[in-house]
Structure formats: C-alpha cells, structure tokens
Structure 1
Amino acid sequence: MKGRSRWISNWSGAAVFAFAFLGGGTGDGKIGTAAQAQDVCAAGLVCLDQGWSDADRMAWYTTTQGSRLLPLDWALALEEAERENPFFSEENIRALGYLPAPVSTLNPHGLPIGFVVDKEESSRADIMCETFPETCNGFVMRKPWLGMTCSACHTNEIEYEGTRIRVEGAPALADFQSFLERILAALEATAAEDDRFDRFARSVLGANLSVPTRLALRAQLAEQIAWQQRLIDANHTELRYGYGRLDAQGHILNKVAAVGGGAPYEGGVVSDAPASYPHIWNTAQQDKIQWNGIARNILSIPIFNKNTDIGALVRNTSEVIGVFAHIEISPRWMSGLLGYRSSLRAEKMIDLEQQLARLKSPRWPEEVLPEIDWAKAERGRAHFEVHCASCHTDLAWDDLVTPIKVQMQPIIDGGTDIFLACNTFVHRANAGKYEGRRPFMLKGPKIEAEDFTRDMLTNAAVGAVIGRADELAGSLFDDIFRRAGAPERVERSDGFDYLPGVTDPAKKELAQACLTSRDAKLPGEETILAYKSRPLNGIWATAPYLHNGSVPTLYDLLLPAPLRVSVPEGDVLPAPGAGDRPASFHVGSRIFDPARVGFATQPSQLLVRSDGEIVETFEFRVYEPGGAPIPGNFNSGHEYGTQGLSDPQRWELVEYLKTL
C-alpha cells in the first residue's frame, strides 16, 4: 500500500524522448482540405458562426483518432437485437441520441456524426492478439474498422419552431450506456440465432462465404462478445445515465485496467458517477481539463511544425483508449522507452486539437431564436457581478488567445454531487501487466500489484504516445494527470451525517471518506476532489446544467436545492418544494426553451417534432420513489446566494447569460 499522498507535480526536470521519424499510419486520409468541403449547412439546418468552415466541420465529423469498436463490415451488417432493422439505421441512431449524417464523399456509408472509419493494412494493426487470437489470425485487424471520434460526444443540435441549429463543441444528447448495451445485445443475438447469423455472414463474407470462413467468423464474433461483456461488467451500475451523460472517467479507468489483464478487482468502484459531456470551446486556453481538473494543459512544443500541447495529446490519448482504441501493454522486461503498440493516430489527434483551438463559442442567434431583451440583460449583469463573476471570469465569444486559469471549487465547499471526483480519487485495480512500471515510464513510484488505476491510466496513455514514435519527431512529458493519495479513514462519530437521506451505507461511507480526507481539505488548486468553474461564454447552448446534468435549465439553476452532501447529525433535510430545483425532469428532447434556457422537459408522449415524430425521452430523478436521494444524481450546490434573488432578478440574470 502506498503512502496516502504521492504528489509529483513538482518534478526536478522534464523527461525528454527523441525518436527517429519513420512516417505515420494510413489513417483515413488528410483532413480539412478544400476539396473535401461538404454542404453541411443545408436547408433547415442553421450553422452558427463559430470560426469553422464546412471543411472544418467535415474534418471534425470524420477524422479517425484510432478508435476501433467493430470491423466496418460487421457494423454495416449488424441488426438490432429485437428486429431485423440495421443497427446503424437513422431511426435507431436518433433513438440513441446521436446525430444522423448524409452520405457524402467523406462519409460514403452514411455513418452518424462522430462515427468514423479507421484502416491500417499493415502488421501494425495486429494489436491485442492475446485477447483476439482468431481476429488476428484472420487478418481482420487489417480491415477497415468503425470507431468514434470527438464529434460523437461534442456536437449538438437545437430545434426551435421547425429550425435545427447546429452547435459545434456542445455536449451531445447521446445515451452511450444504452448504445454499448444494445451493441452487445445485437452481437449476442447474431451469434445465437441461425437465421440472423446467416444474414450477417453473407453480408460480411460475400464471395468468400464457406464453411471454414463461417466457422472463423463465429470464433471472431465470440471474441468480440467476450471482450465487450467484460467491459460492460466492469462498468455495470444500476444507475441509468440517460441522454447527455456518461461516466467517462469510470469507463476509461476500467478499460485501462482490463487492458492490463489483471484479475477483476473485488469491491472496486463502479461507473455510477455520470457527468454531462462538457462543452469544449476554449479548451486549449484552460490550464486544467475535465470537470474535476484531473488533466492539465502543460506545455506546447512543435510537432509536425505545429505547436502542440503535450498534455492535451496525452489527455486525448486516454480518452481514445476509453472509447475503443486497441492498445497492447508490452511485457515488463521491455524498455519503457519503446512504449506500447496501439491503434492511436497521433498526427490526426494533433490536427483535431489544432482545429479545436480555432472554435469560437456560439452566440445566441437572434435571427432564429427570440431576440434578447437587452435592457433586462443589462440589469442581469449587475446580479452576475455580485453572485457569479468571482468564479466565472469574462471571456468574449471570439477570444481564442487569453489564457484561462480555471477556478477549482473543493467538493467540501461546493456542496454538489461528489461522486465523479470521489470515484476517480479512490478507483483501484489489480495492476496485471502494469505492476512494477512507473506512471511516466521513467518517473514516479512503481505501480504495485494492487494500486490506483489513475497511475495505470497515466502509464498507458504516455506509453501509447511513445509507442507511436514513428508519428512524432520528439515528445515531452511532465505531470499531465493530477495525482493524490488515498482517502483517510475517520471515525463515524465526527458529528456529521454524510449524504443525509441516502439509504446505501457503502455510499455514505465512501462520501465520508472523501469529504474528510486530507486531500479534500487542500486548496482547490491542489486537489482533484474539486470541480472547476470556467468562463460562461456560450453557456446558453449547453443544457442540462451542473457537472452531472442534474438541473434542466439556467432558470432552474438559480433556484435553491434542499439537498446537502453533509449536515450536522440530527438535522433533517426538507422535502423538495415548488420553489426548488426540479426533483425530476425528462431529457433527450432537442426542442429548445428560449425563456428558461434549456431543452423541453416533458415526457416523450407530450413532445412531437415539427415533422410529426415523437421525441424519445428519459426521466432524470434526483430521488428514489420512496424519497431517498440518489447518489450520482444530487442537484445540490452552486447556490452562492442566488437563492436570495427575487424572481424578476432571476429572469434578468438569465437574460444576461444569453448574451455571453
């Protein structure tokens, strides 16, 4: 067991790795050229001025980062588990909250936005062959694969009176949890039902259909099912994420542990702390990334003659590992300088990061949405100065250069749902192949047989970047992921009730361990047990609100919340009232409410699109039917005196927030 505090943020020096440049992988072609420009903003779709051209948009939608979910021909042949409808049909994709996209030269298969093709025809593609022996033996790894890229989770559309408004970099309204479950169910149904498998095999194998190829396809299908089942089991939780939320850090940490090959960790942290997909304009200007500030932008160096933040590259690498990249942790006897083989596309990731740095925040489009009441907004500015400006500094919508030092609000002070920060803080795993390695290859204490998964994530991400040395002329790594020790155990008789009203004793114990640990009491800049505040430019286009999507509109965010993460023992929390934040609401609609600033919250049967289609929605609940608060869904915190505003003052503040 390691010491409870292992900060390595103050290294005595940087580790420099120089490589010979040998040429990059094939990927899926160069991005962003004028010849590839598509007519993205067609009739009925309004694209806002965010500094991107149509060529930029298509690059954002179609550039591979090395994600590999399924062989492309499998994905195109796959049917939904309950019927013969193609899994990637527009109907099914809409139901899962992803945005359909038309067929084009850059999207010949009509894949949804953010679903891309990755292709590597050489032996470099033969990765994770211990996990997928039949897949490697059949050279399936060298075929085109379907994966995901940034835009699947960071592109959204708003609908108002029959007009669709595209917002680049905005949080998606996707149901990733259901997507993974339905993919697995579809694969299992394909393997179990003869007629379904026959259709699948005919489509995948084509002219190569034979008894031996069918048997090989069955074996390859079984490997994919076993792998995806392992990941779903590792991430299993009874808590439903719904639309627009994902426990990304939990999924990434569990994927990293699975890649290491260690035995399942008994009593580990499950992925039950879903967060909203963050909006990502001005990301390159922020010193800390992720809701809990766990990753840092640290240093820009020239790679491919482009200034590239090495922290961003490794942070993006960790995200791609979490969404289906193949990575192979080499035996421990191999030198750490060699890194790890992976499907990552370092050059493409740099290109996308460069493009993202040019993305401006969206301005309220008065030509489509109701006009702003500017006199009311001026009065709202005064309330903002009193209640909000100390944490949310001003940034103009088109400012792409001013450095942003984000404010970190410790969970012990902020009072909002603690479990995204807490779960990442305490997540442990059996190290497997990571045992004995150092998080930064040559830096940091050795990873023990059972250790913090965030150290394994750092090792995997840094190793994967080093392993793509033929795509990098040189790289520099420093303290990219913020690190901390273990929560201290304290006696339950400290005079406070943690998670009052919650009936799960394990959750209450974990909350107490996090809230009373030494790290929770550190200043916000020094602990990952905190959530960040950033400038609010473009905030109008990012509902639902708070880091866990527990508040539907900006107006509702200005209402008080009766929930608290801790109270003195004996105190009883009041029941939610009519003047409080909503205790339940429906998510999944793209129909915009320009008054309260958010999406419509009615049940699906009450929501009909302009084309007559019923909108599928999911009920977000803060409380169980019996009245117990749901850990992960707390809508508490971020009040800071706004509960003292009069109702007219709240509306004035909302009007001002539209102008940012």
Structure 2
Amino acid sequence: MTMRTPITLALALLATSCTEKAVTDAGPQGWGPAQQNAWYGATQGSRLLPWAWAEVLERPGEPGRFFDAQWLTKFRLLPRGAGELPVGMAIDKQDDRDFTNTRLRWVAGQPNDAAWVGFNCSACHTAEINYQGKALRIDGGPGLTDFQSLVEAVDAAIIETRADPAKWDRFAKAVLKTGDSPAARETLGGAVDQWLAWAKGIDRANKADLRPGFARVDAFGHIYNKVALLANRGPDFDPPPPNASDAPVSYPFLWNISQADRVQWNGIAENTKIKVAGKPFEYGALGRNAGEVIGVYGDVKMGGPASLKGYPSSIRVESLNDLERTLKLLKPPMWPAALMGTPDAAKVAAGKALFDKQCGGACHGTVKPGDIETPFKTTVFPLKVAGTDPWMACNAYTYEAPSGAMAGLPSGYIKLPGKPEPERIGQTAPIATLLRTAVVASLIEDKGALVKAAGATWLGVPARPQIDRPAIGLTPAEIKAARLKRCETEVNALLGYRARPLTGIWATAPFLHNGSVPTLWDLLLPPDQRPAAFNVGSREFDPVKVGYVTAPSATNSFRFVARDANGLVPGNGNQGHDYNNAKLSDEQRWALVEYMKTL
C-alpha cells in the first residue's frame, strides 16, 4: 500500500473521486462523488499510529500487513478502491511540536509534520447492507464496526512486533530504511515504547467485562476516559482510577442531524449556528465533534490555571466544520423497492394512521423524506419514561475523575458575557465538566474570539452539584448500585434519552440506543417477548422484519445477550420503549413495520 497524500476537506470537495459505489437502489442521498470521497477520508485530527509504522505493521498472530483494507473488513470496516485505506481511516499531517502523546521522534532528521493514520466519523457512520448478493451503501448510517476489537488488535500487533525478534527486525528495517543502525533502532524502540505506554493506559482505562461487539462502542466512556487520562498525564504516567466503559451504544444515523436542536443519545449537545463571513458556522456541532476527536486519538496538551490561552491540540477545526456542512446535504436513504419490493399500500396506510396516533406527534415527530432544511425540536424523555437501559445516560451523569491539570480552572474554561464567574474545578470533578472545559480550551487555542462567543452552547452540559465520592470499602457492585439509585431519583437534563424523527429508520438496525433489539418487528413486541439474545456481524438484511439477520454464521459471530438467567444484562438491556406494545395485534405491528419502510 502506498501512502496517499494528505488532503484537506476543502480540496477534497473540489476533487473528483474514483470511489467504487455499491448498488444505488437506496436512492440518491444528495452527495456527489467528491462529497462522499471527503466523508470517507478527510482528517479530523485523529492520530492513532505513525504512518511510517502503520504501512509496514504486521498482523498479530498471522502473516500479512495489518492496514490492508480487505483484512480490516473482519472488524467490519468498509474497503474503498485499490490501494486506499478503508472508509473512515485518514492520514493526518500537521506540526506536532505542541503535542504530547503523538510528538514522537523515531528517526534522525524526522520532520515536525510526520504523517499519522487515524479515524474520522465515517468509520462508524457508514452502513452497508446485503440482499440477494447485492450490496447497498448507506452514507451516514450506523456501521457494524467493532471499534474496540480493532484498537485492541492494533495494540496487540505493536506489542508482538516489539517482543518478537524476527518481527522487530523486519519492522525496523522497513521503517528505518537506509538509516538502519543499532543506534537508530534504539531510537525507534524508545518511540515505540512511549506509544505503548500510552496505549496500555487507554486499554486499562477502557477495560470492561461487557464487550460491545459489532455495531456498538461506548463512545462516552472512551471520550470521558481519554479526557481523564490527558488531564492526569505526567512524566511518571499512571492512569487515574478508571470509569468502566460498560455502556456501549449503537452508532447514531446522521442524516437530518443539523436540523435537530439537540443531538447525542441523551441530548447532551446543542446544535447552534452563526454566520462567519456570510457562511454558516456550525459551532454547536463543532464542540460535539471536537469531543469525538478527543475520544478517537486526538492529541491535547492540557495546562492548568496559570495560562488561559487555550490548549494546543490536533483537532482540525476547519475540517470538522466542513464535514458538518457536508452532512447538511445528506438525505435519508429511500426504501430500495427495486431490490426488496414495494411496501404494501394498504398496510402503509393503516400503519401511518396508527403511527400518527401513537408515535409521531407525541414522541418522534416527522420530517418529510428528502427534507434537509426544516428544523425540528427533540424531546429528551426521562429515564423512567423511556424505560430503556439506563447506563449510558447514568454513566454520563455520574462519572467523575481526578482533575489533574484542570484543577483550579474555571468550569467551562471561560466566563460568559452576562453570566456570573464560573466555579473553579476541584481536585475531583464530573467528567462531563472536564470534557466541556477541555473542548472549549482546545478550540479557543485555534479559533479565539469565535469560541469565546459560542462557548455557552458547546456540550450544553447541565450543571450538577458536586457530591461526595462513595465510601472506601464498597464493592464495585455496591458503587454501581449507588450510582443507579442517584440516576433514578435525581432530576437532570442528562438523565434521559431523546426521541427524533424516524426518517430512514429502516436502514438503522439494530435498534434502541444500545442496539439491543435486532429488527423493527421485535421493537414493537412487549419487551419480555423481544429476543433475549441474537447474533450480530452479518450485513445480510431481512426486509420482512426490517433489520439484519440474526442466525449464527461465520460472519454473524458476535452473540449479543440482552437477558440471561439473572435477568437484564446492565448495558445490554432491551427493556423500555414500550407504549402499550402488548395491546398491538400482529396485524397492527406488520402495518407499522410496512409504514416505517416509507419514512
């Protein structure tokens, strides 16, 4: 594989693309090849691994190159054209002199802007479904990516390379080329050991017994833990006590996202816009996306209260804004009637009447197919009303960490005009507060006055009172029970899940925020009748129940367990979203399914 020249989104939008498109029966989604190509490969500032290492890295436990697009399909990354990285992997090339973990020097005369490979949002927000031998690409749809297994495999490959003399010899020769020497190998080894120390810290922080598997990741858990690690990074790096990444969620679908007033599963982020030089600037989305970059290997150099000039970071502000503007053009996919059959008109009419009465106006609202302009408000339903698995929202609300470098900073980093002085961050703080502060500080360093004017809306995290940490001596189970009790009894905007219009919902399996229900048909059943377990990983589509097939197979290899002998599995629970489901007849359920194909 040869290295692609790094390219900014602005240039990519002007370029032509030779990206091979899958079957287009889903209907045009409003993007041309240039927009799609940029979505698949523009850098956001994510820096996973130096490209000089990645392009020669071998797979763990087997021969072959790790960053081979076809091999990476085992993690459900989607391949692009020949010689390309997979969809959602991008080259980042920028001056690293103000960075921390990615300021590595592994070869003499190395430039300050050596290339790194990382992720962008399309790695998890691009879907593809298969039916009768044909593939349907759905941009902005929830992918099947097993992100956790992928990054664990990268770590394992580097560990094995460092430990195996034969692999290390091949790796060093390939990276150092004509500069190979004992001294050069020592320098390279030191850089690899630095990378491994940071990677192992991330692994320890994110460790959890509950595996996400395909189609899910604990996004908030990973972002929160990364912020805590960055804040507590020191010369003798020792990760702070971890907050388990044990509440994985599905990857949300992204069409119509710019029309919503609030986004994220729990509505934590506001969508707010201003005009800069006559063009809309998505500064609410910018904060949300900056947090995402931090979670997927963005580099941030955090400082304390002595300096309020902002945090140097690898976050690509202009690229993030351009990506968000590109998403505004994305239309929901239309039901592929030519491939899967035309929905039954009589059932559609009956389903629409039922949906409008029980689902639409009260919860989900409607957006007409193809409408990418009309704004809409979302409702965040408290946990008791939604009834679904509480742990994503509960973790976002209750998790705390040592504040490290951020101790003493103003909460949120800046004082807003007309607002009182913000409280100072203590030695321990809610990670939601640390995240908001880190995001604003990172963006101020890049965007200055614009960020200060917009700071009120970024990651609109409602304040909550500082609480005493659980008593020493409690077991993990007791601490978790105490957190759940707080989430069930306290009132806060974070403690809920949002409802949104269901345009294109047919293409977004598995369902509920944690991916615990495989098909639309199953979602309409009473919760205790939904599948207690099912397999995930196959792209093969079931157009009758509307979702992926669930039978075990070589590709459908991950067993998702929602309920076991002990009851609902925390984080995987498939309860809730039950609005008199038991009163629906099978005929009514099939009518609703048929109608939702047309949204």
TM-score between the two structures when normalised by the length of structure 1: 0.83
Say if 1:637 and 1:130 are closer, same or farther in 2 by CA, change over 3 A. closer
Q: Which residue of 1 aligns with 2:409?
A: 437
Equivalent of residue 428 in structure 2, options 422, 444, 450: 450
After the TM superposition, which parts of structure 1 deviate over 6 Å for at least 4 consecutive aligned residues?
470-474
Q: Which residue of 1 aligns with 2:302?
A: 329
Say if 1:378 and 1:127 are closer, same or farther in 2 by CA, change over 3 A. same
Q: Which residue of 1 aligns with 2:563?
A: 623
Q: Which residue of 1 aligns with 2:522?
A: 556
CA shift for structure 1 position 551 = 0.1
Say if 1:446 and 1:27 are closer, same or farther in 2 by CA, change over 3 A. farther
> Which secondary structure does the structure 2 equivalent of 1:342 belong to?
coil
1:17-416 paired onto structure 2 within 5 Å = 28-31=7-10, 36-42=15-21, 48-103=27-82, 109-120=83-94, 124-129=95-100, 134=105, 139=110, 142-261=113-232, 264-266=239-241, 268-298=242-272, 300-303=273-276, 305-334=278-307, 336=308, 338-389=309-360, 390-416=362-388
Query: Is contact 1:264–1:429 with CA below 8 Å preserved after alignment?
Result: no
Distance 1:173 1:130 in 2: 29
1:645 aligns with 2:593: no
Q: Which residue of 2 aligns with 1:540?
A: 506
Distance 2:9 2:75 in 1: 30
CA shift for structure 1 position 251 = 0.4
Distance 1:646 1:371 in 2: 23
Distance 1:125 1:451 in 2: 29
CA shift for structure 1 position 332 = 2.9
Query: Is contact 1:245–1:274 with CA below 8 Å preserved after alignment?
Result: yes
1:453-532 paired onto structure 2 within 5 Å = 453-469=431-447, 476-481=454-459, 482-485=461-464, 504-519=477-492, 527-532=493-498
Distance 1:318 1:473 in 2: 14
Say if 1:223 and 1:285 are closer, same or farther in 2 by CA, change over 3 A. same
Amino acid at match of 2:437: N
1:568-614 CA-to-partner distances (Å, cap 9, x unmatched) read xxxxxxxxxxxx10000001110010000000111124xxxxxxxxx
1:401-448 CA-to-partner distances (Å, cap 9, x unmatched) read 211100111002211100000001011111110011123322321111
Query: Is contact 1:67–1:324 with CA below 8 Å preserved after alignment?
Result: yes
Distance 1:141 1:229 in 2: 25
Distance 1:487 1:545 in 2: 34
Say if 1:33 and 1:113 are closer, same or farther in 2 by CA, change over 3 A. closer
Amino acid at match of 1:587: V
Say if 1:282 and 1:43 are closer, same or farther in 2 by CA, change over 3 A. closer
Distance 1:537 1:463 in 2: 36
Moved more, 646-655 or 43-52: 43-52
Amino acid at match of 2:189: R
Amino acid at match of 1:237: A
Distance 2:487 2:165 in 1: 51
Distance 2:588 2:155 in 1: 49
Query: Is contact 2:8–2:319 with CA below 8 Å preserved after alignment?
Result: no
How large is the RMSD of aligned CA atoms in angstroms? 2.4
Amino acid at match of 1:372: P
Q: Which residue of 2 aligns with 1:500?
A: none
CA shift for structure 1 position 62 = 1.1
Equivalent of residue 632 in structure 1, options 567, 571, 582: 571
Distance 2:566 2:89 in 1: 40
Q: Which residue of 2 aligns with 1:588?
A: 537
1:440-483 CA-to-partner distances (Å, cap 9, x unmatched) read 32232111111111111111111111111389798532132222
List runs of 5+ in structure 2 lacking aligned partners.
416-421, 469-475
Query: Is contact 2:410–2:425 with CA below 8 Å preserved after alignment?
Result: yes
CA shift for structure 1 position 638 = 0.3
CA shift for structure 1 position 212 = 1.6
CA shift for structure 1 position 42 = 4.4
Say if 1:488 and 1:384 are closer, same or farther in 2 by CA, change over 3 A. farther
Distance 1:136 1:309 in 2: 40
CA shift for structure 1 position 642 = 2.2
Query: Is contact 1:96–1:175 with CA below 8 Å preserved after alignment?
Result: yes
Say if 1:74 and 1:140 are closer, same or farther in 2 by CA, change over 3 A. farther
Distance 2:56 2:275 in 1: 42
Say if 1:304 and 1:189 are closer, same or farther in 2 by CA, change over 3 A. farther
1:341-374 CA-to-partner distances (Å, cap 9, x unmatched) read 1111111111111101111111101112222112
CA shift for structure 1 position 133 = 6.0
> Which secondary structure does the structure 1 equivalent of 2:117 belong to?
strand
CA shift for structure 1 position 136 = 10
Say if 1:488 and 1:374 are closer, same or farther in 2 by CA, change over 3 A. farther
Say if 1:600 and 1:459 are closer, same or farther in 2 by CA, change over 3 A. same
Amino acid at match of 1:512: K
> Which secondary structure does the structure 2 equivalent of 1:116 belong to?
strand
> Which secondary structure does the structure 2 equivalent of 1:221 belong to?
helix
Say if 1:253 and 1:189 are closer, same or farther in 2 by CA, change over 3 A. same
Moved more, 136-145 or 184-193: 136-145
CA shift for structure 1 position 622 = 1.2
Distance 1:149 1:471 in 2: 26
Amino acid at match of 1:549: G
CA shift for structure 1 position 628 = 3.5
Query: Is contact 2:96–2:102 with CA below 8 Å preserved after alignment?
Result: no
List runs of 5+ in structure 1 lacking aligned partners.
1-25, 104-108, 490-502, 520-526, 563-579, 606-614
Amino acid at match of 1:295: A
Distance 2:176 2:448 in 1: 34
Distance 2:278 2:67 in 1: 38
Distance 2:294 2:559 in 1: 30
Say if 1:85 and 1:136 are closer, same or farther in 2 by CA, change over 3 A. closer
Moved more, 210-219 or 152-161: 210-219
Number of equivalences: 577
CA shift for structure 1 position 211 = 1.6
The share of aligned pairs that are identical, in percent, is 39
Amino acid at match of 1:238: D
Amino acid at match of 1:533: A
Say if 1:46 and 1:216 are closer, same or farther in 2 by CA, change over 3 A. farther
Query: Is contact 1:126–1:136 with CA below 8 Å preserved after alignment?
Result: no
Q: Which residue of 2 aligns with 1:496?
A: none
1:176-202 CA-to-partner distances (Å, cap 9, x unmatched) read 111111111111001000111111112
Distance 1:194 1:101 in 2: 34
Say if 1:637 and 1:474 are closer, same or farther in 2 by CA, change over 3 A. closer
Say if 1:471 and 1:85 are closer, same or farther in 2 by CA, change over 3 A. farther
Amino acid at match of 1:326: D
